[in-house]
Chains A and B, each alone.
Chain A
Amino acid sequence: MERGNGFKTMKTKIKIGEKYYQVDVSEINRDFLKVRVDDKDFFFKENEFQELIPVDEKELASGSEGWKTEAVLWDSRAGKEIKSPLTGTISGIDIKKGDKVKPGQKLMTLIAMKMENEIVAETAGVVKEIKAEAGKLVNSGDILVKLE
């Protein structure tokens, strides 16, 4: 169990049949758990009997309880999904898929309101996917890079 960025997390691999799955369990807050199996996220909450029950799709879509925002923040703080802080244009990308990045390493430059913004990695990792493209517009909150 790790306690990075103020959240409790546990990472493990499980094997079902011939396939291995990466499973990351994160306690988002006292009431919510996020379980990531490879790239897919599942959320659980405690009911009145203190049993864990899955959060259904409707609740997930509404995000009305505020936990959804916390889940997004968790991803951002953990640094696995780097999101655009502003709407703007990507002027340059300094990494490629498969690169190992260190905390603080520059990943790309975002021009917004004539400001130049160096987007840097929060944690170490390997570049799994680059969603942004040089010269293209991104919206605030868009995923720019996925690390693993």
Chain B
Amino acid sequence: MNIKHFEKLESTSSTAKEMAEQGVEPWTVIWADEQNAGHGKEGRDWHSSKGGLYFSVILPKSNIDDLQTITILAAFITAKVIKNNFSLEPFIKLPNDIWVNQKKVCGILTENVIGSDIKLSVIGIGLNTNIEKFSPQLENAATSIKIETGQEADNEKILKQIVEGLKEQLKTISQ
């Protein structure tokens, strides 16, 4: 698995898009321990402090209809990884959020660049793994694996399980 690991990035998806434009091969994973400008839909901030798992995957070129299923598939795969590793009962708020105990634990955003065909696609996943505490503004809305279980997650292991799951499920859209 081709993983490019950074201590800190503005946004893993922005870096992934730049790399895809430069011709970096599909399935390359951009992983950062922290993001300064992690974002969700419509540029909304995604809290990205140290301890969480933040990564983006450059997807193979696909047709637009297939891309619509990616976020949903990614949510199912990530929820399954959470359930299998931490015995939690995640709830998928379709199509792109995962909640545990009525608080958000994971957000997923697929971003495409489209001209007369699809130029590139990147899926970004932010999973609150080892975050011990959220700010007062977020603590009622967000949670983490560590808060819920007291367990420390192995971020690299979780990342690899999610990406392997994505690869397996998305074979049908590969070039």
Contacts and interface: CB of A to CB of B under 8 A. Distances in A.
B42 A120 contact: no
A3 interface: no
B96 A120 contact: no
8 contacts: A103-B115, A113-B95, A114-B41, A114-B109, A114-B110, A116-B110, A117-B114, A118-B111
Interface in B100-123: 109-116, 118-119
Contacts of A77: 116
A116 B115 CA distance: 14
Nearest to B97: A114
A114 B96 contact: yes
Contacts of A86: 64, 68
Interface string A103-124: 1100000011111111111100
Given A76-B116, A77-B116, A115-B67, 5 more contacts: A85-B64, A116-B110, A117-B113, A118-B112, A122-B116
Given A91-B42, A120-B119, A115 B113 contact: no
B111 A116 contact: yes
B68 A115 contact: yes
Interface residues of A, number: 20
Contacts of B116: 76-77, 79, 122
Nearest to A105: B115
B68 A113 contact: yes
B92 to A, nearest CB: 12
B11 interface: no
Instruction: Categorize the interface residue count of chain B.
Output: 10 to 19
> How would you classify the secondary structure of chain B's contact residues: helix, strand, loop or mixed?
mixed
Interface of B: 41-42, 64, 67-68, 70-71, 95-96, 109-116, 118-119
A3 B119 CA distance: 22
A121 B114 CA distance: 9
B110 A104 contact: no
A118 B68 CA distance: 15
A86 B68 CA distance: 10
Tell me which of A79, A91, A115, A118 has the highest count of chain B C-beta atoms within 10 A of its own C-beta. Answer: A115
B42 A79 contact: no
Contact of A118 (B42, B96, B109, B114): B114
Contacts of A115: 67-68, 70-71, 109-112
B71 A114 contact: yes
Contacts of B119: 104, 120
